[in-house]
Chains A and B, each alone.
Chain A
Amino acid sequence: MSLHTLTVAELAAGLKARRFSSLDLALHFLGRIERLGPELNAFVTVTAERALEDARRADELLAKGEGGPLTGVPIAQKDIFCTDGILTTCSSKMLSNFVAPYDATVVERWRAAGTVLLGKTNMDEFAKHLRHETSFYGPVKNPWDLKRVPGGSSGGSAAAVAACLAPAASGTDTGGSIRQPAALTNLTGLKPTYGRVSRYGMIAFASSLDQGGMLTRSAEDAALLLKAMAGFDPRDSTSVDAPVPDYVAELATPLDGLRVGVIREFFGEGLDPAVGKLVQDAIGVLRANGASIVEVSLPALPLSVPTYYVVAPAECSSNLSRFDGVRFGHRCDSPRDLLDLYKRSRGEGFGDEVKRRIMTGTYVLSAGYYDAYYLKAQKVRQLIAADFARAFGEVDVVIGPTAPTAAFELGAKTSDPITMYLNDIYTIGANLAGLPAISVPCGFVREGGKDLPVGLQLVGPHFAESRLLSVSHQYQQLTDWHRRVPQGYE
Chain B
Amino acid sequence: MSLTRAQVEGIAHLARLEITEAQMPVYVDSLSRIIDFVEQLSAADTGGAEPMAHPLADQVQRLRPDTATETDRHEKYQRNAPSVAAGLYLVPKVIE
- Chain A min CB distance to B50 (Å): 6
Cβ of A338 and Cβ of B94 under 8 Å apart? yes
Chain A residue nearest to B39 in the complex (CB): A306
Chain B residue nearest to A337 in the complex (CB): B92
Contact among B13, B38, B56 with A373 in the assembled complex (CB-CB below 8 Å): B38
Chain B residue nearest to A462 in the complex (CB): B56
Contact among B52, B61, B82 with A381 in the assembled complex (CB-CB below 8 Å): B52
- Chain B min CB distance to A194 (Å): 5
Cβ of A303 and Cβ of B41 under 8 Å apart? yes
What are 16 A-B contacts defined by CB distance under 8 Å?
A195-B55, A195-B59, A234-B62, A240-B59, A324-B16, A325-B82, A336-B92, A340-B92, A347-B17, A359-B31, A360-B35, A377-B41, A378-B51, A379-B52, A380-B46, A385-B52
- Chain B min CB distance to A93 (Å): 14
Determine if B33 is an interface residue (Cβ-Cβ < 8 Å). yes
Chain A residue nearest to B45 in the complex (CB): A383
Cβ of A416 and Cβ of B59 under 8 Å apart? no
Chain B residue nearest to A377 in the complex (CB): B41
Determine if A48 is an interface residue (Cβ-Cβ < 8 Å). no
Cβ of A417 and Cβ of B34 under 8 Å apart? yes
Give residues of chain A (333-349) contacting chain B, Cβ–Cβ below 8 Å. Answer: 335-344, 346-348
Give residues of chain A (320-365) contacting chain B, Cβ–Cβ below 8 Å. Answer: 321, 324-329, 331, 335-344, 346-348, 350, 352, 355-356, 358-360, 362-364
Cβ of A359 and Cβ of B41 under 8 Å apart? no
Binding site for A on B (CB under 8 A): 3, 7-8, 11-20, 23, 26-27, 30-31, 33-35, 37-42, 44, 46, 49-56, 59, 61-62, 64, 73, 76-77, 79-83, 89, 91-94
Cβ of A327 and Cβ of B81 under 8 Å apart? yes
Contact among B15, B59, B79 with A317 in the assembled complex (CB-CB below 8 Å): B15
- B82 proximity list for chain A (CB < 8 A): 325-326, 329, 331
Determine if A253 is an interface residue (Cβ-Cβ < 8 Å). no
- A432 proximity list for chain B (CB < 8 A): 55
Cβ of A359 and Cβ of B33 under 8 Å apart? no
How many A-B residue pairs lie within 8 Å, measured between CB atoms?
A: 173
- B61 proximity list for chain A (CB < 8 A): 237
- A386 proximity list for chain B (CB < 8 A): 49
**Roughly how many angstroms separate A267 CA and B68 CA in the complex, as a whole number?**
53
Chain A interface mostly: helix
Determine if A476 is an interface residue (Cβ-Cβ < 8 Å). no
**Roughly how many angstroms separate A343 CA and B38 CA in the complex, as a whole number?**
27
- B91 proximity list for chain A (CB < 8 A): 326, 338, 341
Determine if A468 is an interface residue (Cβ-Cβ < 8 Å). no
Please tell me the number of chain A residues within 8 Å of chain B, measured between CB atoms.
74
Cβ of B80 and Cβ of A379 under 8 Å apart? no
**Roughly how many angstroms separate A396 CA and B28 CA in the complex, as a whole number?**
45
Contact among A101, A307, A331, A336 with B79 in the assembled complex (CB-CB below 8 Å): A101
Cβ of A376 and Cβ of B44 under 8 Å apart? yes
- Chain B min CB distance to A314 (Å): 11
**Roughly how many angstroms separate A327 CA and B23 CA in the complex, as a whole number?**
28
Cβ of B62 and Cβ of A194 under 8 Å apart? no
**Roughly how many angstroms separate A5 CA and B64 CA in the complex, as a whole number?**
46
- B50 proximity list for chain A (CB < 8 A): 379, 382
**Roughly how many angstroms separate A417 CA and B76 CA in the complex, as a whole number?**
40
**Roughly how many angstroms separate A435 CA and B52 CA in the complex, as a whole number?**
14
Cβ of A379 and Cβ of B46 under 8 Å apart? yes
- A338 proximity list for chain B (CB < 8 A): 91-92, 94
Cβ of B55 and Cβ of A355 under 8 Å apart? no
Cβ of A375 and Cβ of B59 under 8 Å apart? no
Cβ of B92 and Cβ of A366 under 8 Å apart? no
- Chain A min CB distance to B68 (Å): 14
Contact among B41, B77, B81 with A306 in the assembled complex (CB-CB below 8 Å): B41
Chain B residue nearest to A354 in the complex (CB): B17
- Chain B min CB distance to A372 (Å): 7
Given the interface contacts A362-B14, A382-B50, does A306 sit within 8 Å of B40 by beta carbon?
A: yes
Contact among A234, A366, A416 with B14 in the assembled complex (CB-CB below 8 Å): A366
**Roughly how many angstroms separate A309 CA and B89 CA in the complex, as a whole number?**
35
- B89 proximity list for chain A (CB < 8 A): 326-327
Determine if A310 is an interface residue (Cβ-Cβ < 8 Å). yes
Determine if A208 is an interface residue (Cβ-Cβ < 8 Å). yes
- Chain A min CB distance to B44 (Å): 5
In the A-B complex, the 3 residue pairs with the smallest Cβ-Cβ separation, listed nearest first, are A434-B55, A347-B18, A378-B51
Determine if A478 is an interface residue (Cβ-Cβ < 8 Å). no
